[in-house]
Structure 1
Amino acid sequence: MKYAQSSPSLTRGSVLAHMVRLSIPASMGMVFNTLYNLTDIWFAGYLGDDALAGLSIAGSVFFLLLSIGLGIQAGASAMIAPEVGRAGIKGAIKGGTSEIKHWIDNVTGMAIGFSVLSFLLGAFAARPLVVLLGAEPNIEPLAMEYLWVTLAGSIGFTLSFGAAGALMALGDTKSNRNALGIGFFANFALNPLFTFGLGLGVTGIALATVTIKIATALYLLRVLAKRLNIRIRPAFNWPRWQALLKQVLPASFNTLTIVLGGFITVALIGQFGSHHVAGYTVGLRLEQLLLLPALGLNSAVMAIAGQNLGAGNNARVAETYQKSLLIGLAMAVVSIPVMYFLSPLMMGFFTDTDAIKNTGVTYLRIDALAFYAYVVLFQSVAVLQAMRKPMFPMYLGIARQLVIPAIINYVLIVLWDYPMVSMFYTIVIVVMVSSVIAHVYTKREISRLPRAGALE
């Protein structure tokens, strides 16, 4: 078996050029993914405000239940990228390439296992979580319609995450971009067909999503198999699973804290009414759209740092981190004015209801203050995950996204009866402080790397 390295090696050449080559397709893919989600929200809006609120609540619950498998993309990249770097310096000898295949097989097996676990968790916990998020009796059935279908098709999500992580480790972010782009346009066609043409309503939105995600997973696995000239077979090798879980579970738990933090935020906003939940959710989606270039850069940083750690080019790891922060600063200079001044226009695309629109605009304008802090956090976490040091991001995530905001916001909203807007200022302050801590820690860990020597 020979490793067919069609993408340029990330261990040689300009780090900046590699960042541009990888991050642009990754960012475009994330743009398509976010537009995909916004398309769902848009069509739900045509079904009425109740459907929009139900979809917003169901989306939070779905990703809470799925979050245990969301770290599989980061875990796959963390384990495979160093093997790619090692295979490159060994001249793609059999031992190096067979390791890549073994990891891909076990990532695939783990993705299947996580999808089953997500469905089982959903069978018991979905409805109580929907109610806990503040869904009124007229909204709860709509949220559950969406959840049952998406949970049943969760294997499409987990398999596509794993395959995308493996391709990213190989230096290929274009294939996932292509899949997400085609998925967006397919969703734009299937949503009206299923939702209105077949009269399925919210169920139609969910069915379109599941159909597209399963097709995406099959496409990415096919690309991966052809690129490496291998046959992918799900594997359940416990020693490899243990090593993989050490990367996947902290990354998943970090994602889980994001979802749980959002879950708590939505629950507290729900005290003010479902329309405010919908406004915050749409505003959050729009913010994520503006942050996508930084998240695309995050993917590039993880792949470049991982391959160079495997090849023993540790100086390039430090260079990768430094240049990612400079590129991120340029992104912030462009995005912050858009986030502040154009937020009313952007919110107006999704709703005419003042309560929904005003909440989204307020959130976007306040959280613009923390835009660059998010960038620093993303790149710090990417480098630490590439170094196979995922525990600190997890601990910081628990504090930043869950414990500290939950305590402060509970005191402000429930005990002191502060207005909803105080929660948004809490988010900004916590993110800024966390970004400083993450930056200092990441710089320290990079400085501890030997001048030469591959990651074990």
Structure 2
Amino acid sequence: MIRLSIPASTGMIFNTLYNLTDIWFAGYLSDNALAGLSIASSVFFLLLSIGIGIQTGASAMIAPGAGRGETHEVKGWLDNVSGLAIAFSALSCVIGFFAARPLVVLLGAEPNIEPLAMDYLWVTLAGSLGFTLSFGAAGALMALGDTKSNRNALMVGFVANFGLNPLFTFVLDLGVSGIALATVVIKFATAFYLFRVLMKRLNISVKPTFDKARWRDLLRQILPASFNMLTIILGGFITVALIGQFGSEHVAGYTVGLRLEQVLLLPALGLNSAVMAIAGQNMGLNYFDRVSETYRKGLLIGLFMAFVSIPVMYFLSPLAMSLFTDDTTIQSTGITYLRIDTLAFYAYVILFQSVAVLQAMQKPMFPMYLGIARQLVVPAAINYTLIIVLEYPMVSMFYTIVGVVILSAVIAFFYTTREISRLSSA
């Protein structure tokens, strides 16, 4: 688990540092550009959410065949994963054409922020195929027990972003569009590299394919995972919209704080990838007791990660926020969010591991239902009441997030434990 999780975590760290680099360069342009990119990125990943689940679906369907060494079976899934990636990106573009601008306005973008957000969005939507293909390839490699190739791609992408961002943004004077263009170029290069690794490793060629039966099976895994991701993004979207009631600078502060939190959660997310890959391969071999062992050890390793990360998250948050902006309002919002959310850090770890095991067991529905409640229904109802109806201060939303996450983690733990017990006794 550690051998697989370290490369995955390293890759995710560089991916998040990549996003922070974009934020850093946007801050160099102006505080308005920083706010516009913060809003646009929320809208983009909301529109792309249906394609994000392809990584989970690809891993869940490929892992059993990979565990049995059935290369032909793996190729069949890869062909259909690439076909679905193309379909998902086309769908994202169509929806974005009609919905992008209203969503940007809904998030509270003022007239001086809206054009900057839309400049970023049009470019990223046009290049959404690079995102979906790279997601699918990364999921396939994860199912094969390869977390290093995606790590390498993300590391190189981070370095390339440091070169392309100033080139496109300042030298070619493309502004926020330049930041988006750099991301699109790097994502297409990442997808090309990952598929090349897959084809070389398996000695196959990958051809986008539509196989009704395989698409149906893939969609049974992808759509719940995508919908779960959609609820996460939509819940964040609603949170940003409510924070936007207090001003765009608070949106920027929350967004930067959220990205910094993700950096500290990345080792846990890397562990999540390892847990899913190992549990999925053991499912293919009918080693059900090892699925239980994987879950227990994942939670233990995650507890150690929490002991290390929580003090860093609390005490170094002022220094971290100061690296991105001199605006005291933006800094204060980010610091407040980070310090309050330390209370839920290990609860996130439990949620990640529980969802990973259930998806490896090809039981994606409970994570979807829990995601709807945790990310969407419960916090949206509570926060709307607190902020709009009762006119509570913005900080009350952060405490709502913590409480809902902790309760969800408890529910997820007991449900996952029960499902593993049923599997082992069957």
TM > 0.5 between the two?
yes
Task: Check if 1:36 corresponds to 2:14.
Answer: no
Identity, % of aligned positions: 78
C-alpha contact 1:405 1:426 (8 A) present in aligned 2: yes
State the one-letter code of the partner of 1:321: Y
CA distance in 1 between counterparts of 2:293 and 2:404 reads 28
Match of 2:115 in 1: 141
Deviation at 1:84, TM superposition (A): 1.2
Residue 359 (structure 2) aligns with: 385
Is the contact between residue 315 and residue 451 of structure 1 (CA under 8 Å) also seen in structure 2? Answer: no
2:66 corresponds in structure 1 to: 84
Say if 2:153 is the partner of 1:179.
Answer: yes
CA positional deviation for 1:86: 2.3
User: 1:62 aligns to what?
Assistant: 44
Encode CA deviations 1:322-344: one digit per residue, 9 max, x unaligned.
Answer: 00000000000000001111100
Report the secondary structure of 1:136's partner residue: coil
Residues 76-97 of structure 1: CA deviation (Å, up to 9, x unaligned): 000000111123xxxxxxxx22
Q: CA deviation at 1:138?
A: 0.4
> Do residues 319 (structure 1) and 293 (structure 2) align?
yes
Question: 2:174 corresponds to which residue?
Answer: 200
Separation in 2, partners of 1:24, 1:85: 21
2:35 pairs with 1:53: yes
Partner of 1:251: 225
Work out whether 1:371 is the aligned partner of 2:345: yes
Match of 1:75 in 2: 57
Deviation track 1:222-244 (CA, whole Å, cap 9, x = no partner) reads 00000000000011101100000
Q: How does 1:200-239 map to 2 (within 5 A)?
A: 200-239=174-213
Residue 337 of structure 1 pairs with residue 337 of structure 2: no
Matches within 5 A, 1:256-271: 256-271=230-245
8 Å contact kept, 1:374–1:435? yes
Corresponding letter in the other structure for 2:104? V
Consecutive unaligned residues in structure 1, runs of 5 or more: 1-18, 88-95
Shift of 1:276: 0.3
Partner of 1:12: none
CA contact (8 A) 1:85 1:311 kept: yes
Counterpart amino acid of 1:22?
A: L
**By how many angstroms is 1:46 displaced?**
0.6
TM-superposition CA deviations, 1:360-385 (whole Å, max 9, x none):
00000000000000000000000000
- Tell me the amino acid that sits aligned with residue 411 of structure 2: I
Find out whether 1:100 has 2:100 as its counterpart: no
The whole-number CA distance in structure 2 between the counterparts of 1:317 and 1:269 is 41
1:284 corresponds to which letter in structure 2? L
Measure, in 2, the Cα distance between the counterparts of 1:363 and 1:31.
20
Task: Quote how far apart the aligned CAs of 1:413 are.
Answer: 0.3
Give the match for residue 406 of structure 1.
Answer: 380
Q: Distance in 1 between matches of 2:370 and 2:415?
A: 11
- Whole-Å Cα distance in 2 between the matches of residues 138 and 450 of structure 1? 59
Amino acid at match of 1:448: R
Task: Give the superposition deviation at 1:450.
Answer: 3.7
Q: State whether residues 72 and 158 of structure 1, in contact with CA within 8 Å, keep that contact through their aligned partners in structure 2.
A: yes
Give 1:24's aligned amino acid.
Answer: I
Give the counterpart letter for 2:326 in structure 1.
D
1:98, distance to aligned residue in structure 2 (A)? 1.0
* Matching residue of 1:422: 396
CA distance in 2, matches of 1:130, 1:186: 28
Contiguous gaps of at least 5 residues in structure 2:
none
Letter paired with 1:105: D
CA distance in 2, matches of 1:370, 1:48: 33
CA distance in 1, matches of 2:221, 2:394: 37
Task: Determine the C-alpha separation between the residues in 1 that align with 2:312 and 2:424.
Answer: 42
Q: CA deviation at 1:451?
A: 5.6
- The alignment partner of 2:423 has SS state of coil
Contact in 2 for aligned 1:328/1:372 (Cα 8 Å): yes
Runs of 4+ residues deviating >2 angstroms: none
Which amino acid in the other structure matches residue 58 of structure 2? A
Match of 1:166 in 2: 140
Read off the aligned partner of 2:102 and give its amino acid letter: P
Tell me, in whole angstroms, the C-alpha distance in 2 between the residues paired with 1:120 and 1:28: 34
The root-mean-square deviation of aligned C-alpha atoms, in Å, is 0.7
Alignment TM-score, normalising by the size of structure 1: 0.93
